[in-house]
Each structure stands twice: as C-alpha cells, then as structure tokens.
C-alpha cells in the first residue's frame, strides 16, 4: 500500500470517527433533553395537583404510572362539558346551603346527608358525572386539588355516620369539609385559564387602540413655530438673544 492509500485510509477513519462522535453527541443531547422534559413535566404536575400527586404515586406505587393517570384525568375532564353556574343558580344554591347549616344545630346527621346530596347536585348541574364517587373525586382533583382530599374525608365521615360510628364532632368536621368544597364548586375554575387569556388579549387590544388614537392625534397636532418679532395676540414673542440684562 503506497503513501496515497495510507492517507485515504487515515482520512476515512477520521471521517468515521467524526461521524461516530456526532452521533454520540446527538444521542447524549436527546437523552438530556428527554430528562429535562420529564423533570419539567413532573414539576408541573406536582404544582398542579399538590398533595394529590403524592397520594396518586403512593396509591399506584410508581411515579410514571401515577403521572400517566393524572394526565388521563386531565384529558377526561377536558372532554366533559363543564358549565359555569349563572348568578341565579349560585344564589339558589347558597340559600339551600344556609338551610343545611341551620339544620345542623338540631339534626347534625340529617345536615351532613343533605350537604353530601347538595354537593352532588351542584356537580351534576355543572356537568360532572356523579355515578361513582372515586371517579368524581378524580375529576375534581384536576381543577380543585386543594379541596378534593377534604371531599374524601367528608365522604368517609358520612359513610361512618350511616353505620352509626361518627361522633357529633366528626359530623361538624364533615360540614366544614363540605362547605369548602361547596363554595369552591360555585367558582368557575375550569375556565379560569381561558378567562385570563381573554382578559390579557382584551387589554392588549385596548392598548393598541389607545396607541393608534394617540398617534393620530399627534399627526393632527400642529406645533406653531414662533419667530422673533411675530405677534401672538397682543404679545411680542422674543427669544433669549433679545433679552438684555
């Protein structure tokens, strides 16, 4: 093999080495990117679900399975036709809740039963399926993770009460839990993001309108140039060079 062949072989090997190095770098970057994406996704889920994230991980025993379940919940709730309550509906439900609270004084057990039923009525009116409690809790956790665990606790007390195992203090705590969930359900958290986006877009549009109006006014405004000796009304306009000490 002559010197030229050796040179070609060396260049070929160098080219292959360069390609391998590039491929390795691409793979490493892809892995790093995937790990960063995975971490950001996990952090976003933790921020959204709070304690519900840890509860789901503990329940399923695997982080990936838990995160897949949480994403599945989001997709399910997004497919539902969740409706906000009208002002009239809100007022009607508030009156019913006051009646339930008043009943607690003389009939704690009946009040807890009514509170549970009223929460279900509000959920049904808003568009949530109510046939299965565990599914209801899972659906609520998507936008109401702050109160969903209290809902489970209140439901547990209500079930113990039916078996005659709940104390009056337990029933009082259940009413506190139901009250928090009830008032939270009156708010339209499901469409809060859309409303914020609409508000931001509206403000941006208003600002553009104001800016265009200001620009038109500036174009129309004529600024008079005053020269030495010219009169404005009955006054002579003079510049600084005409002022003598």
- Is 211 a member of any domain? no
- Is 63 a member of any domain? yes
**Statement to judge: residues 91 and 132 lie in one domain:** yes
Residue with tokens 């499901």: 190
- Is 47 a member of any domain? yes
Query: Among positive and negative, which fits the CA dihedral 166, 168, 173, 179?
Result: positive
Residue numbers of the domain that contains 98:
87-192
- Is 153 a member of any domain? yes
- Is 222 a member of any domain? no
**Statement to judge: residues 36 and 109 lie in one domain:** no
Domain boundary among 20, 45, 79: 79
Count structural domains, the chain.
2
Domain boundary among 60, 79, 98: 79
Each residue of 177-200: pLDDT tens digit?
999 999 999 999 877 654 444 433
Q: What is the pLDDT along the chain (245 residues), one digit of tens a residue?
A: 555 555 556 665 566 767 777 777 777 777 667 666 667 677 888 888 888 999 999 999 999 999 999 999 999 999 999 999 999 999 999 999 999 999 999 999 999 999 999 999 999 999 999 889 999 999 999 999 889 999 999 999 988 988 889 999 999 999 999 999 999 999 998 776 544 444 334 454 545 544 665 556 555 555 444 455 555 444 444 444 443 44
What phi and psi, each to the nearest 5 degrees, are found at residue 238? -125, 150
- Enter the tokens of residue 173: 């705590």
- Is 109 a member of any domain? yes
In angstroms, the CA 234 to CA 165 distance is 98
- Enter the tokens of residue 118: 């009223």
**Statement to judge: residues 124 and 182 lie in one domain:** yes
Contact 76/69 with Cβ under 8 angstroms? no
- Is 65 a member of any domain? yes
Assessment of whether the complete model's pTM goes beyond 0.95: no
């Amino acid at each position: 093999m002559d010197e030229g062949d050796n040179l070609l072989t060396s260049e070929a090997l160098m080219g292959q080495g360069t390609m391998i190095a590039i491929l390795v770098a691409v793979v490493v970057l892809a892995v790093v990117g995937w790990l960063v994406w995975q971490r950001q996704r996990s952090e976003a889920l933790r921020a959204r679900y709070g304690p519900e994230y840890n509860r789901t991980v503990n329940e399923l025993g695997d982080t990936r399975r838990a995160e897949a379940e949480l994403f599945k919940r989001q997709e399910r709730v997004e497919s539902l036709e969740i409706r906000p309550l009208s002002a009239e509906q809100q007022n009607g439900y508030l009156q019913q809740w006051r009646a339930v609270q008043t009943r607690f004084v003389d009939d704690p057990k009946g009040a807890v039963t009514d509170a549970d039923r009223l929460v279900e009525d509000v959920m049904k009116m808003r568009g949530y399926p109510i046939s299965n409690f565990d599914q209801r809790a899972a659906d609520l956790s998507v936008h109401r993770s702050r109160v969903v665990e209290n809902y489970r606790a209140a439901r547990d007390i209500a079930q113990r009460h039916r078996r005659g195992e709940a104390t009056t203090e337990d029933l009082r705590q259940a009413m506190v839990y139901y009250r928090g969930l009830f008032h939270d359900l009156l708010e339209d958290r499901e469409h809060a993001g859309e409303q914020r986006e609409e508000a931001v877009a509206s403000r941006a549009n208003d600002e553009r309108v104001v800016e265009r109006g200001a620009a038109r006014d500036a174009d129309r405004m004529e600024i008079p140039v005053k020269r030495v000796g010219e009169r404005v009304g009955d006054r002579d306009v003079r510049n600084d060079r005409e002022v003598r000490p």
